[in-house]
Amino acid sequence: MKKKTVFTLALFMILGAVFLIQGRIESKTAMLPSPPPKDDKTLTLVTYNIRGARDDAGEADPVAIADELRMTNADIIALQEVDNGLPRSDFGDQAKIIAEKLGMNYVFAPAINFLVGTYGNALLSRYPILSSTSVDLPYLLEPRSLLQVEMDLGGQKLIVFTTHLGLKKSERIKQFEFLYDYLEDYTGKPVVFMGDFNTRADDPLFTPIRTLLQDPLFKRKQRLVTISGKVTYGTIDHIFLSPHLHDLYAYAPSFGRSDHFPVSMRVELDAWK
């Protein structure tokens, strides 16, 4: 066997072993000055699987992702498949780069620690971040996690969750069960739950979650295409709201470097002070 082949196989085995380590390292958090008071009671929410900011050719450009997100004029942004220090994305800290370009606070929490870098979820906010935590989800193929961030909306606390669920339905079943149990503890509080669920809106796996949180798009039968090149696949990126929030409209602009499209929802918060 050639030396190059042996080296490649050894490297693959090492990285494969590391891949299974769901290393919990501290979330990265940045805090910026509080934004000026809003003149209304509305928020724009966005969830976007950025695919490591890579285009179809594999070139990573988090600044381009920031430019795309700027067009949505979002107040709170959930990102999935965010790279931090990985060779495939030029070792960049993507959450930090995107947040700085948008002038937003952020939290990044890795789901996977490759030793040479990490990969996971991020939440960006125009509002002060009070606390954050990340919890592991059950998985079979690839480690997944749930990022939870508490934000201060001018005296009103809002809890925002984001996640990225697995590819196999058998592991998503376990993940949905875990999420239901976890979110049940937040009943009665202002909550937003959004991300890439790899699950169509008509899948019964969502039924328990919908007993806890609103699913405005499902309720009004609004179908958004959120993944490019698979028009018949429909919505797999979703935004759920507690009863404290009321959606005004939602759309998924069909642009961007990723294989997903961002989902944007304008909401009104009853409890806003």
Report the distance separating Cα 239 and Cα 196, nearest Å. Answer: 9
For 46, counting Cβ atoms within 10 Å of its Cβ (0-12 exposed, 13-18 middle, 19+ buried), the class is: buried
Closest to 84 (Cα-Cα) out of 28, 40, 140, 128: 28
Q: Is 142 exposed, middle or buried (0-12, 13-18, 19+ CB in 10 A)?
A: middle
> Number of folded domains in the chain?
1
State which residues form the domain around 51: 3-269
**pLDDT tens profile 3-40:** 444 443 344 334 444 444 444 434 556 655 555 555 56
How high is the mean pLDDT of the chain?
Answer: 86
pLDDT by residue, tens only, the chain of 273 residues: 444 444 433 443 344 444 444 444 345 566 555 555 555 689 999 999 999 889 999 898 999 999 999 999 999 999 999 999 899 888 989 999 999 999 999 999 999 988 889 999 999 999 999 999 999 999 998 999 999 999 999 889 999 999 999 999 999 999 999 999 999 999 999 999 999 999 999 999 999 999 999 999 999 999 888 988 655 467 899 999 999 999 999 999 988 889 899 999 999 988 655
Distance, in Å, from the CA atom of 84 to the CA atom of 116, rounded to the nearest integer, reads 9
The CATH number linked to 194 is 3.60.10.10
